[in-house]
């Protein structure tokens, strides 16, 4: 069982696996996002209160969700690297951080663009918004901590530790709308029993979400290949790869 | 004749206290900073002094956070620079004890001292006497939590070239809930409402970090020391 | 691997930046054996000493004490250890005596008398109550040596202990090293001039 | 081939800039601090955000003063600790030139950078666009004055054990007029009144300190160096 | 007073705390004369050197250069001076070459070639572009010596320049000292071992 695990986590294997997965993931992402955009922006009916402004949701909600899941993934991968000293964990964490940070920026930007028509302001110091901003700080902190070390091994472990400590922020962001009275929308989609959203709006949203997830996976694979190559540049298999290309 | 955990703790506490009292500036720095920040605000606000009382909780808490944060930078730095941190790491005692002793002494000279001095500042800012218990309690819990969080940050950044900025970048996001609940508790107490909600939350945060942070800070220091 | 060896290094490799500083160092130390490490400046003597005391984890290779990797038995191993680095590692604001009390006290219970005796032995009892900040370079070095003495450690790892010392001081250190060996202690000393009766490891540039 | 005054100035400026850019934390520290202080306030105020705009000038100016003050502590300290200050003092050039170059570079990386970044903060604090010119001008004059004042303080306290507290104690009373007039100018500009009065006063202070402070700072450094 | 002397100290007294460290030191140095200062640890060698370069003003007595008190002609005198203290006085964040450029550049106009030549002369041209922080103790000391060389100063005041150096390094310093004397330079060197051909001032404990 452990042997199997170690083989799965060995850099050359991951390098090849990522190459196989990336095109499938990215292809799926293109399909889902394509359908979601067309259906969501063109065919879905305008909201009875918000008019067309609500369509920002098709970018905003998926990127906000992914900003949270990417952070969790980064922390878990870093934890695996820290505790079991499995190098690929750190590589995954390092590859995921900038993608997650970009999703966070996207969520903040789309959110504040949406805030202008909705709340009459781009920014308010509201719990959800503030905690999402903190998430961005955490991403930046993790990335700069990693790069501040001259020795990459120590940088990886330090960044992993910080990522784990910061995970506490994820549930805070998620539940902030329930714990404090907030300007921000409560859960709209996740109420599976009775989503408070008509299907014609919901399906494109779900498709966008799936598409964003696939996109994240695909980009992660691509970045992971780069990370692994860079980290293993001393080893023999990388030299073979380079020679072969 | 082995040295037990309590001896290690008490020896380290005495060492730290001795060092703080030998360098009165390290001891006074957080307090003076706290006083100065709270004194500057009324000056900057001079035309609209009526605002002062409404913003008092924010001023008080921001000043407390900043002054604790600034002194946190030196938690391991002095020892790292003169080589004594290496000696401590090689002393054959669990590093966790040493980290805990250093953090607690830091809190005693920054956090606890600040709590003791805060009534003075509170009077100057026009915070009514009835709000003092909630304010003192929230400051005490908040600064202790911050010292623990800061120990993690200081452990992660000791010896780094970008140390101090990184420390703020790491600690402040984690400390924002403290500010929100701390200022919230004080504010509610001032306006006569019950501050129990935010205080419970602060207490929970404090217990949580006091149990987990020593391990995280030790792990952090080990990573950077290696 | 020599099973009688107390401290042994096995094919230790260390990189600093892109310099391959230690290139497969192996060595064994038994009780009563003190090794002199020498070699041109910048060849990795300090690096080797830091590997030996566990402050630096080598990228490859293994450091073991009585057969067990020192990372496994870190605290036990380090309790036996006295390391003196390039710097004297004194807190400038504490007096010489306090410096000793707080660092030696973590290793073993120690009385003020013991510490004063150690200071006297290295010839700085007059500085016991001066803050380390005002001491001269040689006096600081002597206080650091007194710390090593007072720790009563089995393993001594000393980085250029002769630095800044006058002739009498150098003799003193030589005598202390000899006595340490006679007590059955072991360890390593970095020094640029040849020391009598010590096995020598010469690092190459 | 003697080295002229201009060469000394330009060499020292290049040295300082090189050092600041090698240690991005020293460079970013004042900016990050400035941002953080201004971001913390709204959080602490969360229940009464309507107050934010009224206290914006005070927040802006207190943050600017504190961030400049904190970085002033290191003006001569780093050089004193690694022995390079002795080398500078022995270089055979007028010490005044060296002090001036160090102070100017300090202002460039703290004060000037802060002025450039202040519009961002001003927007977040809700300061209207029309008030920007007065705000920028007042911040520029104020931080330059503060750098000069700080150089005197840093010169007097370098090497002292109670250095940093003394520095705050020396500099802040001198800096209070800056705060009052600076925040006053910004406040008037926000409310649409003419800010010329306080601005003239700030300009006068700036000219005064820029001519006198270099001499005072050099004398101060000489006293502590000897 | 000897009028031929370039640098002369006259009955210099210095107290540190309540220690009377220098008790009436008088000495004269002419062109081409290098003085060795030695004596047990803590007897005031470093203090004496700092008095000679004007960093420390003696409580009593007078230090003069060509008959004028050095406090009167501070800038002219210090322009002729190269002082190497116990610490290498390098900025850890600057490379060895930059360290030299910014400190030597204040004394005289100097080309990068000159500086690299000085580094090569002390055997650390390979470290020219490494930040001083990562250099080994001996390498740092060699960079400090390269600074003294590149300054082309007439007066050298060196505090234990042999510290941390390997055997080759020690020989190099001896050679540099001889060449400095031959060029007509003067100055003082603190060292614990006897140096050939140098007049010696022995401080007493
Ligand atoms: C800068 C401003 C904003 C930020 C930082 C922000 C942040 C977030 C975050 C982090 C989530 C994911 C929450 C989770 O998964 O638990 C989210 C979801 C969402 N946001 Fe925003 N938001 C902003 C503005 C807005 C605005 C103006 C609206 C519209 C009124 C809005 C509507 C939504 C909706 C409908 C969801 C999906 C809710 C769900 O089903 O969980 N957001 N936002
Ligand atoms: N980041 C780095 N990049 C390049 N080289 C480095 C780096 N860090 C350290 N080094 C080099 O590694 C070596 C470290 O050697 P170490 O300090 O162990 O030398 P040493 O043998 O103790 O020398 P000394 O006798 O001078 O004390 C030096 O040559 C140094 O220049
Ligand atoms: N504040 C003080 N109180 C008492 N003694 C002091 C004080 N400051 C310095 N000293 C003493 O003055 C002397 C300074 O000597 P200095 O540093 O010049 O010695 P040195 O000859 O250079 O010694 P070394 O060979 O160790 O470098 C030391 O003995 C030191 O203990
Ligand atoms: Mg060395
Ligand atoms: Mg000396």
Q: Collapsing DSSP states into helix, strand and coil, what is residue A203?
A: helix
Atom 21 (ligand 1) nearest CA = A111
Residue A192 — very low, low, confident or very high, per pLDDT cuts 50/70/90?
very low
pLDDT for residue D46: 63
Residue the block writes with tokens 């600790």:
D81
Mean pLDDT of E152-157: 95
pLDDT for residue B198: 87
The interaxial angle of helices B196-225 and B132-157, nearest 10 deg, is: 20
User: Which range among B153-167, D163-177, E110-124 shows the weakest confidence by mean pLDDT?
Assistant: D163-177
- State the nearest Cα–Cα gap between C75 and chain B, in angstroms: 4
Does the pLDDT of residue D1 top 60, yes or no? no
pLDDT for residue C204: 85
Across the interface, do D49 and A123 touch by the CB < 8 Å criterion? Answer: no
Structure-block tokens of residue C74? 């870190």
Mean pLDDT of A10-19: 88
pLDDT for residue B159: 77
pLDDT for residue E28: 93
CB contacts of E109 in chain D (<8 Å) are 1-3, 7
pLDDT for residue A129: 85
H helix count then E strand count, chain C? 6, 9
Q: Which residue of E has its CA nearest to D5?
A: E106
Across the interface, do A165 and B172 touch by the CB < 8 Å criterion? Answer: no
Across the interface, do A124 and D43 touch by the CB < 8 Å criterion? Answer: no
Structure-block tokens of residue E69? 């008190």
- State the nearest Cα–Cα gap between A142 and chain B, in angstroms: 8
Phi, psi of C31 (to 5 degrees): -55, 140
Rounded to an integer, what distance in angstroms lies between the CA atom of residue B125 and that of residue B42? 8
Across the interface, do D46 and A125 touch by the CB < 8 Å criterion? Answer: yes
Given a contact cutoff of 8 angstroms between Cβ atoms, the answer to whether B143 and B204 are in contact is: no
Nearest partner of E32 among E5, E65, E61, judged by Cα: E5
Buried b (16+ CB within 10 A) or exposed e, B44-55: bbeeeeebbebb
Q: Which of A101, A145, A166, A182 to mutate against chain B (most B CBs within 10 Å)?
A: A145
Q: What is the layout of strands, in order, in the sheet containing E155-159? A: E81-84, E155-159, E186-190, E34-38, E199-202
- State the nearest Cα–Cα gap between B138 and chain C, in angstroms: 34
| Distant-in-sequence, close-in-space partners of D129: CB < 8 Å, separation ≥ 6 | none
Rounded to an integer, what distance in angstroms lies between the CA atom of residue D77 and that of residue D75? 6
Given a contact cutoff of 8 angstroms between Cβ atoms, the answer to whether E165 and E194 are in contact is: no
Rounded to an integer, what distance in angstroms lies between the CA atom of residue C194 and that of residue A232? 42
Examine the predicted complex and report whether its ipTM is higher than 0.90.
Answer: no
Mean pLDDT of A95-116: 93
Given a contact cutoff of 8 angstroms between Cβ atoms, the answer to whether B175 and B165 are in contact is: no
Residue D10 — very low, low, confident or very high, per pLDDT cuts 50/70/90?
very high
Buried b (16+ CB within 10 A) or exposed e, C29-68: beeebbbbbbbbbbbbbbbbbbbbbbbbebeebebbbeee
Query: What percent of chain C stands above pLDDT 90?
Result: 81
Strand partners, C63: C9
Q: Is the C-beta atom of A86 inside 6 A of ligand 1? A: no
Phi-psi category of residue A120: left, alpha or beta, with phi > 0 → left and psi -120 to 50 → alpha? left
Given a contact cutoff of 8 angstroms between Cβ atoms, the answer to whether C35 and A168 are in contact is: no
Q: Is the C-beta atom of A189 inside 6 A of ligand 1? A: yes
Contacts A–D by Cβ distance under 8 A: 8
pLDDT for residue E172: 96
Does the pLDDT of residue E1 top 50, yes or no? no
pLDDT for residue A188: 63
Q: SS3 string of chain E? A: CCCCCCEEEEEEEEEECCEEEEEEEEEEECCCCEEEEECCCCCCHHHHHHHHCCCCCCCEEEEEECCEECCCCHHHHHHCEEEECCCCCCCCCCEHHHHHHHHHCCCCCCCHHHHHHHHHHCCCHHHCCCEHHHCCHHHHHHHHHHHHHHHCCCEEEEECCCCCCCHHHHHHHHHHHHHHHHCCCEEEEECCCCCCCCEEEECCC
Does the pLDDT of residue C116 top 60, yes or no? yes
pLDDT for residue A127: 76
Q: Which residue of E has its CA nearest to C43?
A: E136
Rounded to an integer, what distance in angstroms lies between the CA atom of residue A108 and that of residue A89? 28
CB contacts of C88 in chain B (<8 Å) are 83
Rounded to an integer, what distance in angstroms lies between the CA atom of residue E134 and that of residue E93? 9
CB contacts of E98 in chain D (<8 Å) are 18
CB-closest option in A137, A148, A166 to B162 = A148
**Model confidence over A36-80: pLDDT tens digits?**
888 888 877 777 666 677 788 889 999 999 999 999 999 999 999
- State the nearest Cα–Cα gap between C173 and chain E, in angstroms: 14
Q: pTM, whole model, 2 decimals?
A: 0.87
Rounded to an integer, what distance in angstroms lies between the CA atom of residue C83 and that of residue C157? 5
User: Which range among A126-130, A209-213, C132-136 shows the weakest confidence by mean pLDDT?
Assistant: A126-130
CB-closest option in B25, B161, B176 to D43 = B176
Decide which of A96 and B1 is more confident: A96
pLDDT for residue B12: 94
Residue the block writes with tokens 């994240």:
A216
Within 13 Å of residue D19, how many CA atoms lie on the same side as its CB?
21
Q: What is the layout of strands, in order, in the sheet containing E19-29? A: E19-29, E7-16, E60-65, E68-69
Q: SS3 string of E20-67? A: EEEEEEEEEECCCCEEEEECCCCCCHHHHHHHHCCCCCCCEEEEEECC
Residue E154 — very low, low, confident or very high, per pLDDT cuts 50/70/90?
very high
| Distant-in-sequence, close-in-space partners of B3: CB < 8 Å, separation ≥ 6 | B11, B93, C105, C106, C107, C108, C109
Classify residue D50 by burial, with Cβ atoms within 10 Å: 0-12, 13-18, 19+. Answer: exposed
Contacts B–C by Cβ distance under 8 A: 82
Q: How far is CA D144 from CA C200, D72, D112, in A?
A: 60, 12, 8
What is the CB neighbour count within 10 angstroms for residue A45? Answer: 8
Query: What percent of chain D stands above pLDDT 90?
Result: 31
Q: What is the mean pLDDT of chain C?
A: 92
Question: Residue B4 has what DSSP assignment?
Answer: P
User: Chains with 3 or more CB pairs closer than 8 angstroms to D?
Assistant: A, B, E
Strand partners, E84: E158
Q: Is the C-beta atom of A185 inside 6 A of ligand 1? A: yes
What sign for the dihedral angle of Cα D89, D91, D92, D98?
A: negative
Does the pLDDT of residue C174 top 80, yes or no? yes
What is the CB neighbour count within 10 angstroms for residue C89? Answer: 23
Phi, psi of E11 (to 5 degrees): 50, 60
What sign for the dihedral angle of Cα C135, C139, C141, C145?
A: negative
Classify residue C133 by burial, with Cβ atoms within 10 Å: 0-12, 13-18, 19+. Answer: middle
Does the pLDDT of residue A194 top 70, yes or no? no
Q: What is the mean pLDDT of chain A?
A: 85
Residue D27 — very low, low, confident or very high, per pLDDT cuts 50/70/90?
confident
User: Which range among A90-99, A199-208, B181-190, E70-79 shows the weakest confidence by mean pLDDT?
Assistant: A199-208
Q: How far is CA D199 from CA D123, D133, D183, D202, D223, in A?
A: 21, 11, 10, 5, 35
Q: How far apart are the first and last CA of chain E?
A: 27
| Distant-in-sequence, close-in-space partners of E133: CB < 8 Å, separation ≥ 6 | E92, E93
Does the pLDDT of residue D157 top 90, yes or no? no
Q: How far is CA B13 from CA B29, B91, B143, C71, C130, in A?
A: 19, 16, 18, 27, 22
pLDDT for residue B173: 84
Does the pLDDT of residue A244 top 90, yes or no? no
Number of residues that make up chain B: 226
Q: Does D2 touch chain A (CB under 8 A)?
A: no
Residue A195 — very low, low, confident or very high, per pLDDT cuts 50/70/90?
low
For the CA of E141, the nearest atom of ligand 2: 26
pLDDT for residue B213: 93
Q: Does A125 touch chain D (CB under 8 A)?
A: yes
Q: How far apart are the first and last CA of chain B?
A: 29
Rounded to an integer, what distance in angstroms lies between the CA atom of residue A29 and that of residue A207? 9
User: Chains with 3 or more CB pairs closer than 8 angstroms to A?
Assistant: B, D
Does the pLDDT of residue C130 top 90, yes or no? yes
Rounded to an integer, what distance in angstroms lies between the CA atom of residue C21 and that of residue E125? 18
User: Chains with 3 or more CB pairs closer than 8 angstroms to E?
Assistant: C, D
CB-closest option in C38, C41, C170 to E139 = C41
Number of residues that make up chain E: 205
Residue D126 — very low, low, confident or very high, per pLDDT cuts 50/70/90?
confident
Q: Collapsing DSSP states into helix, strand and coil, what is residue B2?
A: coil
Atom 39 (ligand 1) nearest CA = A187
Strand E34-38 relative to strand E199-202: parallel, antiparallel, unpaired?
A: parallel
- State the nearest Cα–Cα gap between A94 and chain B, in angstroms: 17
Domain count across chain D = 1
Q: Which domain holds residue B142?
A: 5-225
Q: Using 50 as the pLDDT threshold, list the residues of chain B that sit under it.
A: none
Atom 27 (ligand 3) nearest CA = C137
pLDDT for residue D160: 63
């Amino acid at each position: 069982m452990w042997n199997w695990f170690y083989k799965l986590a060995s850099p050359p294997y991951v390098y090849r696996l990522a190459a196989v997965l990336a095109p499938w993931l990215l292809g799926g992402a293109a399909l889902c996002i394509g359908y979601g955009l067309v259906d969501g922006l063109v065919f879905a009916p305008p909201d009875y209160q918000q008019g067309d402004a609500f369509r920002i949701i098709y970018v905003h909600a998926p990127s906000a969700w992914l900003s949270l899941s990417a952070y969790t993934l980064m922390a878990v991968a870093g934890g695996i690297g820290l505790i079991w000293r499995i190098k690929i964990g750190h590589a995954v964490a390092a590859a995921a951080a900038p993608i997650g940070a970009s999703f966070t920026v996207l969520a903040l930007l789309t959110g504040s663009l949406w805030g202008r028509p909705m709340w009459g302001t781009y920014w308010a110091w509201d719990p959800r918004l503030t905690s999402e901003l903190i998430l961005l700080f955490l991403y930046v902190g993790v990335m700069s901590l990693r790069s501040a070390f001259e020795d990459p091994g120590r940088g990886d472990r330090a960044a992993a530790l910080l990522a784990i400590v910061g995970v506490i922020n994820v549930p805070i962001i998620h539940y902030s709308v329930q714990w404090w009275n907030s300007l921000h929308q409560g859960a709209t989609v996740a109420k599976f029993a009775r989503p408070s959203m008509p299907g014609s709006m919901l399906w494109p949203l779900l498709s966008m979400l799936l598409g964003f997830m696939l996109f994240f996976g695909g980009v992660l694979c691509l970045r992971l290949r780069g990370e692994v190559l860079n980290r293993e540049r001393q080893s023999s298999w990388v030299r073979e790869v380079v020679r072969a290309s | 004749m082995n040295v037990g955990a309590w001896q290690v703790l008490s020896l380290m506490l005495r060492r730290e206290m001795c060092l703080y009292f030998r360098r009165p500036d390290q001891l006074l720095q957080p307090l003076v900073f706290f006083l100065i920040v709270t004194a500057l605000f009324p000056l900057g606000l001079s035309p609209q002094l009526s605002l002062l009382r409404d913003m008092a909780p924010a001023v008080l808490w921001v000043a407390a956070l900043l002054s604790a944060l600034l002194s946190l930078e030196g938690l391991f730095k002095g020892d790292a620079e003169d080589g004594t941190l290496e000696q401590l790491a090689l002393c054959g005692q669990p590093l966790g004890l040493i980290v805990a002793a250093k953090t607690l002494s830091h809190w005693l000279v920054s956090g606890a001292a600040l709590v003791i001095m805060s009534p003075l500042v509170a009077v100057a800012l026009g915070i009514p006497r009835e709000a003092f218990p909630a304010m003192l309690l929230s400051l005490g819990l908040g600064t202790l939590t911050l010292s623990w969080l800061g120990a993690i940050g200081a452990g992660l950044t000791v010896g780094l070239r970008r140390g101090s900025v990184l420390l703020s970048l790491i600690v402040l996001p984690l400390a924002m809930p403290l500010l929100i609940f701390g200022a919230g508790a004080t504010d509610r107490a001032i306006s006569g409402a019950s501050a129990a909600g935010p205080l419970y939350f602060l207490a929970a945060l404090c217990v949580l970090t006091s149990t987990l942070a020593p391990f995280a800070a030790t792990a952090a220091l080990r990573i950077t020391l290696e | 691997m020599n099973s009688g060896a107390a401290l042994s290094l096995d094919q230790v490799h260390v990189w600093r930046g892109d310099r391959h500083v230690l290139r497969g160092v192996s060595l064994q130390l038994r009780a009563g054996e003190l090794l002199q490490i020498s070699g041109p400046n910048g060849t990795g003597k300090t690096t080797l000493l830091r590997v030996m005391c566990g402050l630096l984890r080598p990228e490859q290779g293994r450091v073991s004490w009585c057969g067990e990797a020192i990372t496994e038995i870190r605290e036990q191993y380090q309790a036996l250890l006295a390391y003196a680095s390039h710097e004297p590692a004194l807190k400038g604001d504490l007096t010489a005596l306090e410096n000793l009390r707080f660092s030696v006290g973590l290793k073993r219970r120690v009385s003020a008398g013991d510490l004063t005796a150690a200071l006297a032995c290295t010839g700085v009892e007059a500085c016991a109550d001066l803050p380390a900040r005002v001491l001269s370079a040689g006096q600081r070095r002597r206080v650091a040596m007194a710390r090593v003495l007072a720790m009563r450690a089995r393993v001594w790892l000393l980085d250029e202990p002769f630095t800044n010392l006058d002739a009498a001081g150098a003799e003193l250190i030589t005598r202390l090293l000899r006595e340490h060996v006679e007590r059955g202690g072991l360890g390593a000393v970095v020094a640029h001039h040849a020391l009598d009766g010590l096995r020598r490891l010469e690092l190459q540039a």
